[in-house]
């Protein structure tokens, strides 16, 4: 890396350094070389998610040799979403790019990815898809299961949500708040706000190998994250539709079962004692009413805060140029007009 005087950056590249890290010094060198090859002025913001002293010397050296590199260290480990948000807040460029701190795509493909943004007039956000993908049968099965579940629940079709290479204007970061582990679903959340998302196939890095294993708890967390995104995408502003539907179905089933039991008691002489079905039917009615009430309370909360919420995202404003203002009359013109009167 050479010492360069930074121009006004067009691209702000945010690299969150979290739990998974691969050869950070070599990776930074590859990223900077690829971004230089793209030909546009950029800045590279490295966000350390919590104290990671073993990487500070490497990052200090990189920042000292290239003034386009900045390093932000968070006070503690807040998660990748918080690290990205911190990088977005510190960014100066009009276009944001996210890169992972580990090998995913071949760095030499980044100029193709950045140049694709100028050609993608039909999209505001670009996300990378590693292709062709490598990995064993279990990895392929896991990827298909995750994306199939996400497509079934959300109705959105993406092929590589786990890839951290993305490009989008600052408006996306402004409109889509990140928290928890929602950074994985940034394309879906952006699409919900009306931004057009396009996938770009990039060659997978030959060093892209996950050297570890996922625990059962991780799979449970991902499943719950998918359900969270489903609710955020479909029912954030209309909770009564979600809870009301569940409550209506539960109360309906319980009401029908209760009616059948009552008819059996009145007209067929069947006793109500020792009837577990009666208890289950009553429980369904109560559960349905409570679920419906929960959705209604959610609607009341949203209505109360509706004045501070924005339901739309403006893509552009087109208007005719304002007609030129008439030239201001000088003192001699004013005196002449008064004399004529």
Here the tokens at position 150 are 């996400």
- 164 belongs to a structural domain: yes
* Number of residues that make up the chain: 341
Q: Which residues of 260-283 are buried (b: 16+ CB within 10 A; e: fewer)?
A: ebeeeeeeeeeeeeeeeebeebee
Model pLDDT, residue 268: 83
Q: Is residue 159 part of a domain?
A: yes
Mean pLDDT in residue range 286-308:
81
Count of beta carbons in the 10 Å neighbourhood of residue 137: 7
Does 253 lie in the same domain as 171? no
Say what the pTM is: 0.76
For 284, the domain range is 239-305
- What stretches of the chain adopt beta strand conformation (E)? 11-17, 42-48, 69-73, 95-98, 125-130, 166-169, 197-202
> What percent of the chain is predicted at pLDDT more than 70?
85
Query: Quick one: pLDDT band at residue 340, thresholds 50, 70, 90?
Result: very low
Span 251-269, average pLDDT: 90
Closest by alpha carbon to 47, among 68, 16, 8?
16
Higher pLDDT, 206 or 329: 206
Do residues 185 and 293 share a domain? no
The set of residues, in sequence order, having a beta carbon less than 8 Å from that of 11 and lying 6+ positions away, is: 35, 38, 40, 41, 42, 43, 93, 95, 96, 97, 114
Q: Give the model confidence (pLDDT) of 184-219 as tens digits.
A: 999 999 998 889 999 999 999 998 876 556 778 888
Of 179, 201, 235, the residue at which a domain comes to its end is: 235
| Statement to judge: residues 78 and 182 lie in one domain | yes
In terms of domains, do 126 and 214 share one?
Answer: yes
Q: What angle do CA 184, 190, 193 make, to 5 degrees?
A: 145
Predicted pLDDT at 314:
56
Q: Is the pLDDT of residue 252 over 80?
A: yes
The pLDDT of 70-86, averaged and rounded, is 91
Q: What CATH code is carried by the domain that includes residue 140? A: 3.90.550.10
Reading the block at residue 111, the tokens are 């100029």
Could you tell me if residue 182 is inside a domain? yes
């Amino acid at each position: 890396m050479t010492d360069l005087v930074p121009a006004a950056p067009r691209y702000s590249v945010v690299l969150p350094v979290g739990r998974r890290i691969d050869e950070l010094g070599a990776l930074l060198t590859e990223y900077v070389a690829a971004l230089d090859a793209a030909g546009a002025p950029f800045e590279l913001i490295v966000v350390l998610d919590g104290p990671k002293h073993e990487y500070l010397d490497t990052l200090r050296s990189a920042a000292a040799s290239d003034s386009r590199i900045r390093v932000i260290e968070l006070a503690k480990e807040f998660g990748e979403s918080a690290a990205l948000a911190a990088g977005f807040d510190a960014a100066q460029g009009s276009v944001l790019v996210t890169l992972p701190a580990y090998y995913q795509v071949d760095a030499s493909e980044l100029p193709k990815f950045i140049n694709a943004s100028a050609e993608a007039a039909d999209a505001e956000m670009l996300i990378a898809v590693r292709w062709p993908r490598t990995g064993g049968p279990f990895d392929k099965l896991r990827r298909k299961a995750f994306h199939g579940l996400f497509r079934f629940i959300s109705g959105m079709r993406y092929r590589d949500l786990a890839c951290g290479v993305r490009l989008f204007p600052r408006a996306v970061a402004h409109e889509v708040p990140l928290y928890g582990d929602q950074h994985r679903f940034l394309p879906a959340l952006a699409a919900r706000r009306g931004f057009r998302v396009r996938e770009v196939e990039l060659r997978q890095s030959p060093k892209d190998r996950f050297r570890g294993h996922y625990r059962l708890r991780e799979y449970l967390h991902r499943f719950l994250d998918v359900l969270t995104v489903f609710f955020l995408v479909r029912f954030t502003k209309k909770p009564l539709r979600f809870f009301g539907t569940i409550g209506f179905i539960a109360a309906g089933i319980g009401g029908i079962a209760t009616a059948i039991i009552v008819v059996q008691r009145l007209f067929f002489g069947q006793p109500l004692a020792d009837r577990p079905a009666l208890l289950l039917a009553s429980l369904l009615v109560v559960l349905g009413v409570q679920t419906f009430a929960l959705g209604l309370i959610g609607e009341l909360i949203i209505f109360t805060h509706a004045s501070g919420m924005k339901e739309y995202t403006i893509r552009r404003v087109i208007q005719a140029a304002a007609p030129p203002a008439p030239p201001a009359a000088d003192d001699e013109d004013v005196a002449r007009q008064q004399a004529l009167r």
